[in-house]
Amino acid sequence: MENCIIRKIEKKDNQAVAALIRAVFDEMNIPKVGTAYEDPYLDLMFEEYSKPKSVYYVLEKEDKIVGVAGIAPLENEAESICELQKMYFLPETRGLGLGAKMMDTCLKNAKEMGFESCYLETMPFMLGAQKLYKKSGFEYIDGPMGSTGHTSCPIWMLKKL
């Protein structure tokens, strides 16, 4: 996809980011309970990712946000472990290598922030996402880590940075 840029979230992006995440949930019939859909800060992503050792990116094409992803400390875990959070892309951006570019950007920043491992949670039917995660070096683990509050996400993965 030409003319795409990955940049850090700005305050003006909050509404578009929340709308994109909700649209992907609706499109894929992802459960809304026990997932990122319920996160209280979904409409305040700029503010949430302005916290220490946190960063959130948007993929923008022609002034439209078409993909998102971020890194933040994994709550109630070692300080050396971060979490890949809220990585979603609109259908027209999938399968074009943009997820891999976003992943590389996030993981590079995680390492620069001093994290040693990155954790993520996903859904069983999100096979395209799992393929990207495996290609990026994530491995399946037997149980959840930290306190994400996402009780409806039964696939857990971890990557050494």
Label residue 147 by pLDDT band (50, 70, 90).
Answer: very high
Average pLDDT, the chain: 95
Beta-strand pair 64-73/139-141: unpaired
What was the pLDDT predicted at 19? 96
> Binning pLDDT at 50, 70 and 90, where does residue 47 land?
very high
Encode pLDDT of 103-131 as tens digits: 999 999 999 999 999 999 999 999 999 99
Pairwise pLDDT comparison (1 vs 16), residue with the higher score: 16
pLDDT for residue 1 is more than 80: no
3-state secondary structure 51-102: CCCCEEEEEEECCEEEEEEEEEECCCCCCCEEEEEEEEECHHHCCCCHHHHH
Task: Print the domain residue range for 113.
Answer: 4-160
Which amino acid, residue 12?
A: K
pLDDT over threshold 80, residue 3: yes
Look at residue 39 and give its three-state secondary structure. Answer: coil
CATH of the domain at 58: 3.40.630.30
In total, the chain counts a number of residues equal to 161
| Beta strand 117-122 pairing with 81-89 | parallel
Asked if residues 37 and 22 have their Cβ atoms less than 8 Å apart, the reply is yes
Q: Which residues of 103-139 are buried (b: 16+ CB within 10 A; e: fewer)?
A: bebbbebbeebebebbbbbbbeebeebbebbeebebe
Indicate if the pLDDT at residue 65 is higher than 70: yes
The total number of structural domains in the chain stands at 1
Structural tokens at position 123: 């859904």
Which letter does DSSP use for residue 125 in this model?
T
Question: Residue 10's pLDDT is what?
Answer: 98
